[in-house]
């Protein structure tokens, strides 16, 4: 079980209504029992498993699709599970995701990644999915452009938002169960509130549909997302410098984030020392070679015996 009790305690104070966005402090809840609404809420460890890409879904336009349509063997996929009638936890999660993505040089739909948000609520339809897609793609483009000093008019903003590959999907109950079971994602409907108890997580999927990473909680960072995309792409994404930097960080599966580790920096430092030493030795070898060429007297020409007689 990946989603341990400490994650549930962090969220339990507000999953049902707006208090979910407050993220109650872990120390205060360390010894508190979980409320009954959280019975059965879990994320099982499925790292390395491949999801069923034949699961049928419907996109925001009403077009029937299969999950395979979003996994092309080239692009990493960030997959979130939400329900569109949720106004607390789901909205906070997607807003936090937008705030992290705006700091990346990459937007979904480029050469690096795309995003799929799937609803696990069978009550959600394509109309509400379309509205959610418009809201979050527009917000992402607006914030991304603003951070780079671009002031977009409404038409350009809408055009760029429409071009993003961030799809909001709905599905029939059987398809929802098939997807969530493959992902190891368990949630629970609370009849009293009419809302779902569930956990926020971003699944980082390889281009072939394999679960590569989990990013838990709500405090997403651009670094964690970028490194996760690079890891899932198996070296297809990221500049040389970014790949060098990634080698100094290790993914913590319990925390769901990347942290620097000493051996990585020692390895990088050792590589740099060897590189500098190699350059220094090469330059000294060339300098010594030129010095010998200058200081050596020219070789006299050979005189044949015939020319001397």
266 belongs to a structural domain: no
pLDDT at 31 > cutoff 90? no
- Average of pLDDT values for 270-297? 66
CATH classification at residue 188: 3.40.30.10
272 belongs to a structural domain: no
Q: Could you tell me the pLDDT band of residue 279, with boundaries at 50, 70 and 90?
A: confident
52 belongs to a structural domain: yes
pLDDT at 39 > cutoff 80? no
Q: Which residue has the higher pLDDT, 296 or 240?
A: 296
Phi and psi at residue 223, to the nearest 5°: -65, -45
User: Which of 17-21, 185-189, 255-259 has the highest mean predicted lDDT (pLDDT)?
Assistant: 185-189
Lowest mean pLDDT among 28-32, 76-80, 165-169: 28-32
293 belongs to a structural domain: no
Q: Could you tell me the pLDDT band of residue 256, with boundaries at 50, 70 and 90?
A: low
300 belongs to a structural domain: no
Which range of residues forms the domain containing residue 47? 40-239
53 belongs to a structural domain: yes
Give the number of residues written for the chain.
309
Q: What pLDDT is attached to residue 21?
A: 36
Q: What pLDDT is attached to residue 257?
A: 56
pLDDT at 187 > cutoff 80? yes
246 belongs to a structural domain: no
Q: What pLDDT is attached to residue 276?
A: 64
216 belongs to a structural domain: yes
The structural domain count of the chain equals 1
């Amino acid at each position: 079980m990946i989603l341990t009790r400490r994650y549930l305690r962090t969220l339990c104070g507000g999953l049902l209504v707006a208090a979910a966005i407050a993220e109650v402090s872990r120390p205060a809840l360390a010894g508190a029992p979980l409320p009954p609404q959280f019975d059965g809420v879990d994320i099982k460890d499925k790292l390395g498993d491949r999801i069923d890409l034949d699961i049928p879904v419907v996109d925001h336009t009403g077009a029937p699709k299969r999950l395979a349509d979003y996994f092309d063997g080239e692009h990493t996929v960030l997959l979130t599970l939400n329900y569109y009638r949720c106004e607390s936890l789901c909205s906070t999660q997607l807003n936090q995701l937008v705030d992290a993505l705006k700091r990346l040089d990459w937007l979904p739909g480029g050469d690096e990644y795309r995003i799929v948000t799937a609803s696990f609520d069978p009550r959600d339809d394509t109309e509400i999915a379309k509205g959610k897609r418009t809201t979050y793609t527009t917000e992402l483009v607006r914030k991304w452009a603003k951070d780079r000093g671009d002031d977009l008019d409404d038409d350009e903003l809408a055009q760029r938002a429409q071009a993003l590959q961030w799809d909001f999907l709905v599905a029939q109950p059987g398809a929802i169960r098939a997807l969530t079971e493959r992902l190891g994602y368990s949630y629970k409907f609370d009849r009293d509130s009419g809302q779902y108890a569930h956990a926020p997580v971003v699944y980082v999927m390889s281009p072939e549909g394999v679960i590569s990473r989990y990013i838990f909680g709500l405090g997403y960072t651009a670094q964690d997302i970028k490194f996760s995309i690079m890891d899932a792409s198996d070296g297809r994404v990221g500049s040389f410098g970014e790949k060098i930097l990634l080698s100094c960080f290790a993914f913590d599966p319990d925390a769901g984030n990347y942290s620097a580790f000493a051996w990585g920096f020692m390895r990088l430092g050792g590589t740099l020392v060897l590189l500098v030493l190699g350059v220094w030795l090469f330059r000294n070898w060339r300098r010594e070679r030129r010095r010998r060429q200058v200081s050596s007297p020219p070789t006299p020409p050979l005189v044949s015996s015939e020319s001397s007689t």
